[in-house]
Amino acid sequence: MTVGTLTKRAVALAGGTLLALSPLTAQAATPTQPEPQPQPTLAAKGASLVDDTSGNRLFAKDADTVRPIASTAKIMAASVVLDTTGVDLERQVPVQQAYRDYVTQHGSSTADLQTGDKVTVRQLLYATLLPSGADAAYALADTFGTGTTSAERTTSFISKMNTKAGELHLSKTKFTSFDGGGSDSSTPTELAELAQHAMKNDTFRTIVKTKEYKGEAPAANGRTRYYTWTNTNQLLGSYDGVIGIKTGTTTPAGDCLVFAATRNGRTLVGTVLNSADRYADAAKLLDYGFGASTAKSMKLRALPTHAQRD
């Protein structure tokens, strides 16, 4: 059918007036679909990409193979806290010296929480998910676990992480630490499923899409402490539409990334595990899912010199 014919075709009668459908209107009425693309070649040893709405898996590379997941385990730590019935996000938690000592002993990334400061649960979630603070994750585990000692409470919290994995039917996902510093493991498929669960929570979504958080807390000396935490996820602010989620890096796990992006009403969630170029891999996957070509020109958001790397 020619454009002229389409323009002249009557599509409705209103009050005796003939209404015509323009070519542009006709084109807009048909949703556009991404152009088929060849599957990307990734540096990651394992990867998965899913459509959050349909649940369809769009891409898989050894997606059901169990691998170490490093600090992406903190997604589960945050979920355990946020899924707690009646959780008070404004509850103040005193920072213990043990939280700082843990970072020193394990060489972990830190939110640099200061002993004696009183930070809220909400702030601890920011501190856990943005700079990937192991000290903040310790504080959450010590607060939301049960027991008479810190060791008992953190062990209880890790048990809650594994229980939650069971509830979500993540049969290949196991946690041995509250921060990903142990032999925590999962698969690209199950890690993406965990991320989809976590992103259903408004607070979690707000936190992981934040590039930088600035807040204050009562200090031990009675004054006010000011904290600034930068999101270690450099895909955020670099690839249009990215809304999170979490980085992770250890020697056994390599560089890992759990990510999500929304374009034109579609949200894609993905994982790359043990990648020599995790951000390029993630961008390639998103391009593949969206039918886009952003990866080739993407420039990563630079992190401040003082920011944590994870």
CA 153, CA 168: separation in Å to the nearest integer?
Answer: 23
CA 109, CA 251: separation in Å to the nearest integer?
Answer: 14
Token digits for 135? 């000290």
- The answer to whether residue 71 is catalytic is yes
Three-state secondary-structure class, residue 244: strand
Task: Give Dmax over CA atoms of the chain in angstroms.
Answer: 82
- Torsion, Cα of 186, 188, 194, 200 (10° steps): 170
Token digits for 2? 């020619």
Choose, from 79, 108, 109, 132, the residue flagged as catalytic.
132
Choose, from 48, 61, 71, 284, the residue flagged as catalytic.
71
- The answer to whether residue 156 is catalytic is no
Choose, from 48, 61, 74, 186, the residue flagged as catalytic.
74
- The answer to whether residue 209 is catalytic is no
Task: Residue 34: name the closest of 4, 59, 61, 6 by CA.
Answer: 59
CA 245, CA 309: separation in Å to the nearest integer?
Answer: 15
CA 272, CA 252: separation in Å to the nearest integer?
Answer: 14
Catalytic residues, by residue number, are 71, 74, 132
